[in-house]
Amino acid sequence: MALAIETENIVKRFPVTNSLGDVFAFWKRPTVEVLRGVSLEIEAGEATALLGPNGAGKTTLLKILAGLILPTEGYIEIDGEDVTDGSAARDGRLIYVSNEERSMFWRLSGRENLRVFATLQHLGRAEQSRLIPELLDLVGLTEHADRPVMRYSSGMKQRLAIARGLLVKPSVLLLDEPTRSLDPAGARQMWNFIRTELVEKLGTTLLMATHNTEEAAALCDRVAVLHNGELRAHDTVSSVISMLTGSERWIIRTTGQWNGATASVQALPGVHRVGELTDVEVDGFAVELHVDGSEDRIPVIVRHLVDSGVGVTGVEKAQVSLGAAIEQLSRTA
Partner 1 sequence: MARDLWILLWKDLRVARSYRFAFFVQMVSIVAPLVLLVFLERTLGGISVPSISEYGGNYVSFLLLGVVVTTFSATSLGAFSQSLRTAQVTGTLEALLFTKARLPVLVIGMSLYPFVRESLRMAIYIAGGFVVLGLALDTVNLLPALVVFALFLTVMLSMGLMAASFTLVFKQGDPITLLLVAGSGFLSGVIYPVEVLPLWLQKVALALPQTHAIEGLRLSVLSNASFSDISAQLIVLGIFAVIMLPLAVVGFSVAMDQARTEGSLAHF
List residues bridging with 290 in a β-sheet.
249, 273
C-alpha count within 13 angstroms, C-beta hemisphere, residue 321: 14
Q: Which is nearer to partner 1, 76 or 95 (CB)?
A: 95
Say how many residues make up the chain. 333
Minimum distance of partner 1 from residue 45's CB (angstroms): 22
Minimum distance of partner 1 from residue 141's CB (angstroms): 17
Round the CA-based radius of gyration of the chain to a whole number and report it. 24
CA distance 292 to 8: 32
Minimum distance of partner 1 from residue 82's CB (angstroms): 17
What HEC string does 82-112 produce?
Answer: ECCCCHHHHCCCEEEECCCHHHCCCCCEHHH
Q: Which is nearer to partner 1, 148 or 186 (CB)?
A: 148
List residues bridging with 227 in a β-sheet.
230
Q: Which is nearer to partner 1, 26 or 201 (CB)?
A: 26
Minimum distance of partner 1 from residue 160's CB (angstroms): 11
Using CB under 8 A, list all residues that contact partner 1.
12, 14-15, 23, 60, 63, 66-70, 86, 89-92, 95-96, 98, 100-108, 112, 115-117, 119-122, 148, 161, 164-165
The burial class, CB within 10 Å (0-12 / 13-18 / 19+), for 154 is: middle
Q: Which is nearer to partner 1, 150 or 280 (CB)?
A: 150
Q: Which is nearer to partner 1, 101 or 248 (CB)?
A: 101
Minimum distance of partner 1 from residue 31's CB (angstroms): 10
